[in-house]
Amino acid sequence: MRVLVMSDIHANFPALQAVLADAQGSYDEVWCLGDVVGYGPNPNECADTVRALPALTCLCGNHDLAALGGSEIDDFNSYAKTAALWTSDRLSARTREFLGGLSPRAERAGFTLVHASPRDEVWEYIDSIDVARDNFALFTSPYCLFGHTHRARAYVMDAAGNCIEKLPAHREALPLAGQRMLLNPGSVGQPRDRNPKAAYALLDAKAGTWEARRVAYPIADTQAQMRAAQLPAPLIERLNTGR
Ligand code: ZN
């Protein structure tokens, strides 16, 4: 089983297209860890494309829930709130139906999938070794895949009980064997790990590898659409630097 793992597409259709083109022929299933919409200019294009992918498991994230009218929006900063209201106004009936049917957690053959964390599937940021260590106690499968931080990361629990953080390099294949791991593919549509390229991962469950990947996409195309839509300037600018 070869799986395309992606998260936090955030309505950035040029980035999603670049990822799908780069991964073409390398996967049999797709696991999407949530936040298909929010921030970016193409919520319906992204939702229509994701829902048509083969053998899809898709979670919902905090931005998907906010766009559907959930109370998650109350915890957003002003830029995220503006973008969520803009998104909510534009969701097609088909996109609403798709997002409304998603859950923030799933189990797949030895893998726990969550949008944010096992402890809080919608909100908690696993952004440090301490938070990762706490969360290892809260899932029972060998591996947990998560998104939400927009940072490609791997946390490994070694045999001695130490939690180690790894920053996987592009096309570096981490071996899965023998150690419990928390794995984040990074963000397709709004990376925040100081690398503006779209991030995703290829999981080969049979070979036991997790391969992190980055792919360039036409950032200026997304930004031009965001400007035309009058989305907040800081959300447009951050795409240049991946912060
Ligand atoms: Zn997100």
User: What are the pLDDT tens digits along the chain (243 aa)?
Assistant: 999 999 999 999 999 999 999 999 999 999 999 999 999 999 999 999 999 999 999 999 999 999 999 998 999 999 999 999 999 999 999 999 999 999 999 999 889 999 999 999 999 999 999 999 999 999 999 999 999 999 999 999 988 889 999 999 999 999 997 799 999 999 999 999 999 999 999 999 999 999 999 999 999 999 999 999 999 999 999 999 999
Q: Measure the CA–CA gap between 30 and 18, rounded to whole angstroms.
A: 15
β-sheet bridge partners, residue 174: 210
Residue type, 70: G
Q: How remote is the CA of residue 228 from the centroid of ligand 1, in Å?
A: 22
First to last CA, the chain: 33
Q: How remote is the CA of residue 207 from the centroid of ligand 1, in Å?
A: 29
β-sheet bridge partners, residue 107: 112
DSSP 71-136: GGGGGS-HHHHHHHHHHHHH--HHHHHHHHT-BSEEEETTEEEESS-SSSTTT----SHHHHHHHH
| Torsion region of 140: left, alpha or beta (phi above 0 gives left; psi -120 to 50 gives alpha) | alpha
State which H helix or E strand residue 210 sits in. Answer: strand 209-215
Burial class (CB in 10 A: 0-12, 13-18, 19+), 5: buried
Q: How remote is the CA of residue 150 from the centroid of ligand 1, in Å?
A: 6
Q: How remote is the CA of residue 151 from the centroid of ligand 1, in Å?
A: 10
Task: List residues, by chain if needed, whose CB lies under 5 Å from ion ligand 1.
Answer: 8, 35
Domains in the chain, please, with CATH?
2-240 (3.60.21.10)
Q: Measure the CA–CA gap between 16 and 50, rounded to whole angstroms.
A: 9
Write down the pTM of the prediction: 0.97
Give the tens place of pLDDT for each residue, 144-201.
999 999 999 999 998 888 999 999 999 999 999 779 999 999 999 999 999 999 999 9
Report whether 135 contacts 127 (CB < 8 A). Answer: no
Alpha helices in the chain (DSSP H): 13-23, 43-51, 62-67, 78-90, 93-100, 129-136, 219-228, 233-241
Q: How remote is the CA of residue 55 from the centroid of ligand 1, in Å?
A: 22
